[in-house]
Amino acid sequence: MKKRIGRLAPAFTMLALAASLSGCAAAAIQGVTRASDNAKIMANEDAAAAGEVEAQMKMGDAHCCTIAGSAGVFNNQKATEWYCKAAQQNEPRAFYELGRIYSGDLVRGINGPAKVGAMLTEQRENKPLALMWFNLAARAGNDDAAEEAADLREDMTAPEILQANLREKNWTAQACEWNAVYPDNQL
C-alpha cells in the first residue's frame, strides 16, 4: 500500500501544480486582455464618437464580455451602447453581437474565470429581442447568426417568436442599449 501511495505522490503533486499554474495563467491572460481592451478604447473612442462604424465595433468589442472595473462586472452597458450605434448604421456584425448578448451569451473567448462565473449566475436574456437581432444579422449574410437564430427558436414559445417577428418590422424603434432593455438592472 505504501509503495502504491509513493508512486502516486508525484502524479498528485504534478496535478496540484498544474491546477495552481492554470489559475495564474488565467489571471495573466485576463490581465493582457484587459490591457489590450483599454488600448483599443483609447485608440478608437474619438472616431467611434464621430460615427465611424469600424471604431464603434472595436469599442463594443473592447467593452463586451470582459471584466470591467474593480467590481468585476461585465460592461454590457458600454458594449451595447457602441453596438447599437453601429447597428443603426446597418452593421451586420453589430446585429449578431446584440443577438448574442440578449440571448444571454455574455462570455466569449478563453476567459475561464468569467465563464465559470456566468455559469454560476443567472444571465439576463430577452429571447424575442435576441431573435430579432439574429434574424437581422442572418438576412445580412451572417451564417453564424442563422444558426444561432435556429437554435434560439427551439427554446422559444410561439408568442415569443411572433413578438420577435413583429419587432423586426420596426427594428430601429426597438430598445437596444442594455439599460433600456433592462431598466431594473443598471450596473
Give CA–CA dist 26/95, Å, rounded.
30
Q: DSSP string of 37-69? A: HHHHHHHHHHHHHTT-HHHHHHHHHHHTTSEET
pLDDT digits (tens, 9 = 90+) for 8-29: 455 444 444 444 444 444 444 4
Give CA–CA dist 145/87, Å, rounded.
14
Q: What is the CA radius of gyration of the chain?
A: 20
Give CA–CA dist 149/96, Å, rounded.
10
Take residue 90 and report the three cell numbers written for it: 446597418
The angle at the Cα of 33, spanning 15 to 63, to the nearest 5 degrees, equals 130
Average confidence (pLDDT) over 68-94: 81
**pLDDT-derived band at 121, boundaries 50, 70, 90:** low
Higher pLDDT, 110 or 63: 63
What is the model's pLDDT at position 142? 94
What pTM, to 2 d.p., does this model score? 0.74
What is the model's pLDDT at position 149? 97
**Domain 2-181 falls under CATH 1.10.3470:** no
Higher pLDDT, 118 or 98: 98
Q: Where are the domains of the chain?
A: 2-181
